[in-house]
């Protein structure tokens, strides 16, 4: 998808072409404290808008912004922050994320309930393309460098193949810490 589906006025006023990519989360259990994790982007997989994110595309942005500099929003709406990102890391598959819903916020409590019931199942990145090339024959756009602004929980994903890999275990049950985050 070339442009964010909602609140495009924010991007236009800022003078940037903000873009959004959607990824599906499977119906999943979410920790009672609101923590969840999964992939916000997959490398080498074209989405329904004919965009493909290349490995390393997020590297510079993650160094520059870190998790605190990337917002956790509802449906790409900058007026609807719903939590914060605890960890963001590229691995061999894509951009792996761990987030924390702020359950003191009414909208986050609603989303938490919907995620726990499996009704909300999408992640989407909001970004500005810094380096990309389009293949003339296929129209496929290869995103080589991305300035990541936000990652949203959304209703409709653009990349159905991407899924939450796991949801943290409840207190008192085994944890499944990811090696990529062992040093974070």
pLDDT in tens, 1-44: 334 444 444 444 445 566 665 555 443 456 888 999 888 999 99
pLDDT digits (tens, 9 = 90+) for 125-172: 999 999 999 999 999 999 999 999 999 998 877 766 554 544 443 333
| pLDDT for residue 90 is more than 90 | yes
**Sign of the dihedral defined by the CA atoms of residues 141, 77, 150, 179, in that order:** negative
d(CA 90, CA 4): 23
Look at residue 35 in the predicted model and tell me its pLDDT: 92
Rg of the Cα trace of the chain?
16
Inside any domain, residue 182: no
| φ, ψ of residue 146 in degrees (nearest 5) | -125, 135
What whole-number distance in Å separates Cα of residue 176 and Cα of residue 87?
A: 15
Tell me the residue range of the domain where 38 lies.
Answer: 8-169
Both tokens of 21, joined, read 């990519």
Task: Based on the residue annotation, tell me whether 124 is a catalytic residue of this protein.
Answer: yes
Coil, helix or strand at residue 19: strand
Give the integer Cα–Cα distance in Å for 91 and 162.
14
Mean pLDDT of 43-56: 94
Overall domain count for the chain: 1
Whether residue 181 lies inside any domain: the answer is: no
The pLDDT assigned to 110 comes to 94
**Given 41, 61, 124, 152, the catalytic residue:** 124
Rounded CA gap, 156 and 109, in Å? 20
Gap between the Cα atoms of 52 and 42, Å rounded: 8
Residue 99 lies in a domain: yes
Catalytic residue among 19, 37, 80, 150: 150
Say if residues 87 and 38 touch (Cβ distance below 8 Å).
no
Residue 1 lies in a domain: no
135 is catalytic: no
Please answer whether residues 129 and 144 qualify as being in contact, where contact means their C-beta atoms are separated by less than 8 angstroms. no
Helix (H, G, I), strand (E, B) or coil at 153: strand
Active-site choice (41, 76, 80, 90): 76
The helix or strand, by DSSP H or E, that contains position 129, with its residue range, turns out to be: strand 122-134
User: Is a pLDDT exceeding 60 seen at residue 54?
Assistant: yes
Give the span between the Cα atoms of 86 and 42, in whole angstroms.
19
Domain assignment present for 2: no
Predicted pLDDT of residue 114: 86
98-134 tens-digit pLDDT: 999 999 999 999 998 888 887 887 888 999 999 999 9
Tell me which residue of 131, 127, 155, 153 sits closest to 142, measured CA to CA.
131
Closest of 73, 54, 59 to residue 122, by C-alpha: 73
3 domain residue, yes or no: no
CA separation for the pair 96, 94 (Å, rounded): 6
* 56 part of a folded domain: yes
């Amino acid at each position: 998808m070339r442009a964010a589906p909602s609140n495009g006025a924010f991007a236009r006023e800022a003078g940037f072409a903000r873009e959004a990519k959607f990824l599906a989360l499977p119906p999943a259990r979410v920790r009672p404290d609101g923590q969840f994790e999964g992939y916000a982007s997959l490398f080498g997989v074209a989405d329904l808008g004919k965009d493909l994110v290349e490995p390393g595309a997020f590297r510079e942005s993650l160094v520059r912004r870190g998790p605190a500099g990337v917002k956790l929003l509802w449906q790409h709406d900058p007026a609807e922050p719903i939590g914060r990102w605890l960890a963001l890391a590229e691995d061999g598959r894509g951009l792996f994320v761990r987030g924390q819903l702020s359950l003191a916020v009414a909208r986050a409590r609603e989303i938490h309930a919907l995620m726990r019931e499996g009704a909300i199942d999408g992640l989407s990145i909001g970004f500005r393309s810094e380096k990309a090339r389009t293949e003339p024959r296929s129209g496929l756009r290869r995103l080589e460098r991305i300035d990541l602004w936000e990652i949203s929980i959304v209703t409709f994903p653009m990349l159905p193949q991407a899924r939450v890999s796991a949801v943290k275990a409840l207190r008192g049950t085994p944890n499944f810490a990811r090696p990529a985050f062992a040093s974070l």
